[in-house]
Structure 1
Amino acid sequence: LEHYLDNLMKKIDKAATDYLNKVRHMSPEKRTNQLNQIESMFSKSREFGDDKVSLAMQTYEMVDKHIRKLDAELARFEADLKDKSSGRRKELPEGKNSAKKKCEKDKKKRKSIKEEFEDEIPKKKKKKGPIEEEEVEVSALSPFPLSTHPSDVLDMPVDPNEPTYCLCNQVSYGEMIGCDNLDCPIEWFHFACVQLKTKPKGKWYCPRCQEERKKK
C-alpha cells in the first residue's frame, strides 16, 4: 500500500508540473480534462491514505489486544507463583525448627565430649618396637584456654591430687608439649616455660634432656 501511494503521488506531481507549464497553450476543454485527471488521482491518493490509516489503526488495536491478553496471562502466572510460594513458606517453619533443634542437640553433644576430654590429664604416648623405638608425635590440649597466663593459673584453686608438670612444677594449663625422651621424668612442659610459641617440627627435647644428651 505504501508503494502504490508513493507512485501515485509522484504521478500527481508530474501531472501538476506539466499542467502548469502548458496551461497557457491549452484549450479550455483540455484544461478541464487535465484538471479532472489530477483531481481523480488526488481522490485515489486520499483513498489510499485513508486505507493506510485504517490499516494502521487495525494493527494497533490487534497489537493492543494481544498485549492486554499477555498482561492478563502474566498476572495469572504471578498469582500462581505467589500461591505456591506462600504454601511453601507455611511448610518451612517446621523444617527450620527441627533443623534448629538438631543443631542445638549436636552442640550439646560436642560440648559434652569436650568436657569429658578436658577432664583427662595429658599423658605421653609411648610405643616400642622389637628393634627400635618409633617416633610418636604427641601434642596435648589443656582444660585451660590458650590465652591463659601462668600467673592466672597460680591464683586458681588447685586440687592437691592433681598431678603437676613442667619445670615450674604446676598443673596442666594452656598449650603443652611432650619431651621426646621416653625416660624424661617430667614429660610435659608449658610452651611459655620452654620459650615456645608454636609446636616445633620433628623431635623436641626439654632443656634437662638436652643437657643429658650433650653429656653423652
Structure 2
Amino acid sequence: MSYLEEFVNSIGYLPGEVCRSLELIKLLDDNAKAITEELPILSAQYFSSLEKEQGKVIENADVLQNIRNKQQKALSLSEEKIAVSKQLLDMIDFHTSKLKQDLEAYKKEVANENEAAEEKINKKQKNERTIMDMEMPMTMFMDNPEMQDSFDMQNDENKTYCYCGKGSYGEMIECENPNCKREWFHMECVGLSSQPGGSWFCDDCADAKKKSSSKS
C-alpha cells in the first residue's frame, strides 16, 4: 500500500468527525447565547425585587444565585466550545501536516520507482547492444567468403594428416576411404611422385579392405 493510499484510509473518518464537532460547537454556542440573553431579564427581576428596610437594601438571594448560576453555565459552555474548536483545529492541522509528509514520501517513492525502471531499461538496452555487437562479427564472417577461407586455412594449419602427423603442405593425395583417420597424405611420404590414375587407398585402409574382402 502506497503512502497516498494509507493517507486516504486514515482520513476516512475525518468528514464525519468534523461534522460532529461543528454540530457540537453550534449547540454549545446556541445554549450559551440563550443563557446570555436571559441575564438582562434576570438582572431586571433582581433589581425590582430589592426591598428597603430601615434604610438598608435587602437582596433577593434566590434571584441573585440564579443569575450567578446562569453566568457560570454560560462561561462553561463558552469554554467547552473553545476546547472543541481547538481540538478540531488540532486534528485538521495534524492531518494537513501528515498529508504534506506523505506527499513528500510519495514523491520520493515515485522517483525511486522511475529511477529503478530507467535503470532496468538502460540495462536491457545495454544487454541488447552487447548481443548485437556479438552477433555482428559472426554475421560479417558468414557473409564474407574470404574471411571463411582464411578461417578454414587456419583450421587446416592446426590439423594433422599423413603418417608423419604433420599439417597440410605441398602436394597431397586423399585416401578414398571416407572413414580414413588420416584423410590426406603427403605424396613424398607415401612414395608417389604424381597423382595415380583411379582410386587410391592408404596402406592401412588398403590392408583393411583386403581383409574385409577375404572374409567375405
TM-score interval for Structure 1 and Structure 2 normalised by the shorter chain:
0.3 to 0.5
- Alignment TM-score, normalising by the size of structure 1: 0.40
Higher helix share: 2
Where relative contact order (Cα < 8 A, 6+ residues apart) is larger, the structure is 2
Higher Cα radius of gyration: 2
- Alignment TM-score, normalising by the size of structure 2: 0.40
